[in-house]
Structure 1
Amino acid sequence: MVTTVHSRAWEIAAAVPDPELPMLTLADLGVLAGVEEDGTTVTAWLTPTYSGCPAVAEMAADVDGRLRAAGYPDVRVRLRLDPPWSTDLITEEGRRKLAEAGIAPPGPTADRPSSPGLLALGPTRHLVACPLCGGTDTEELSRFGSTACKALWRCRGCREPFERVKEI
């Protein structure tokens, strides 16, 4: 029997921290796309944040290792690219954890036009609140931050720089 509900295997895989944003779990980030159990076989599905994500191999190894350590003898970690990952998949808990870590969470992508297989990437068109003071008088300093999914911003109010997860 194949199970895709939140099983014990799901809970184990969901608790794996993201290697680039360790304050988030793979479930918080929305990259854990599913976990199936069929007898003694567990298949975990990951949807990387983008096709060239350098952290996906580490995510897969961490999920595999944790499931095997929990007693699952036959573990398979697979990539699921369709539907593609979007920052809309970050949970409310994940967004809260980002802000608590001083990283501004992404805004909604619903207002952006998109087509299957195409990403609508562009500048942020809504207010970005400073995760440190809450002020909205902020500016982007660089589209590129410490990882490909983040940009560098600054609050004009408290003058502090902060990172922000880009919308995808």
Structure 2
Amino acid sequence: MTVPDRMDRAFHDRLMGILADVPDPEIPGVSVVDLGIVQGVGTCDGDVHVNLTPTYSGCPATAAIQLSVRQALDAAGLHDVGIRLVLSPAWSTDMITDAGRERLKAYGIAPPPRGAGSASLRSPQPVECPRCGSSETEEVSRFGSTPCKALWRCRNCLEPFDNFKCH
């Protein structure tokens, strides 16, 4: 992310630090920054705003994310910082940070491989179990606990887990 011309680095870093503490409402172990939902901070006509991109069009958590970001900014005394919903470029699982991938795994969700994109939606590539690390896994249902995840099961430890869908 680049710092807009009319905003200094310290203020940008402060905003990003605040946003890094805002958890995703559906995956509280991961921040909206780590999921790549925060597309940056910008300025327009002297006004500062945070750019948010939903994980997919119609994501039911979008309003909750906007509210959580607003509350975090207000709690920091940044009432004048706006929030913009940005749909282009579209969010992709490649926007998840490395730290976010590790946090997903620690939360019990198999993170998508980097660079997988939509070509992997029905790929025979094995999914690693986030609990035991086994690649002896199988998809149980294309639909998991949220629309952006699929339900899988590990044949080794027999535990079910969500797999973050690539897109």
- Contact 2:121 2:165 (C-alpha < 8 Å) held by counterparts: no
- Contact 1:50 1:85 (C-alpha < 8 Å) held by counterparts: yes
Choose 148-157 or 8-17, whichever is displaced more.
8-17
Given the alignment, which residue of 84, 88, 106 partners 1:78? 84
Q: How many residues align?
A: 161
Given the alignment, which residue of 25, 32, 46 partners 1:26? 32
State the partner residue of 1:17: 23
1:3 to partner: Cα distance: 2.5
**Residues 18-50 of structure 1: per-residue CA shift (max 9 Å, x gap):** 011110001110000011367984311001100
Give, as a single letter, the amino acid of the residue that structure 2 aligns with 1:23.
G
- Within a 5 Å distance, the mapping from 1:81-100 to structure 2 comes to 81-100=87-106
State the partner residue of 1:66: 72
- Within a 5 Å distance, the mapping from 1:71-150 to structure 2 comes to 71-110=77-116, 122-150=121-149
**Residues 61-87 of structure 1: per-residue CA shift (max 9 Å, x gap):** 111111111111313111111111000
CA distance in 2, matches of 1:73, 1:159: 48
Give, as a single letter, the amino acid of the residue that structure 2 aligns with 1:66.
A
In structure 2, relative to structure 1, the CA distance for the partners of 1:63 and 1:40 (3 Å cut) is: farther
Q: When the two structures are superposed, what TM-score results if normalisation uses the length of structure 1?
A: 0.86
State the partner residue of 1:2: 6
CA distance in 1, matches of 2:8, 2:107: 31
State the partner residue of 1:43: 49
Give, as a single letter, the amino acid of the residue that structure 2 aligns with 1:22.
P
Q: Which runs of 5+ in 2 are unaligned?
A: none
- Secondary structure of residue in 1 paired with 2:68: helix
Q: When the two structures are superposed, what TM-score results if normalisation uses the length of structure 2?
A: 0.87
CA-based RMSD of the aligned residues comes to: 2.2
Give, as a single letter, the amino acid of the residue that structure 2 aligns with 1:24.
V
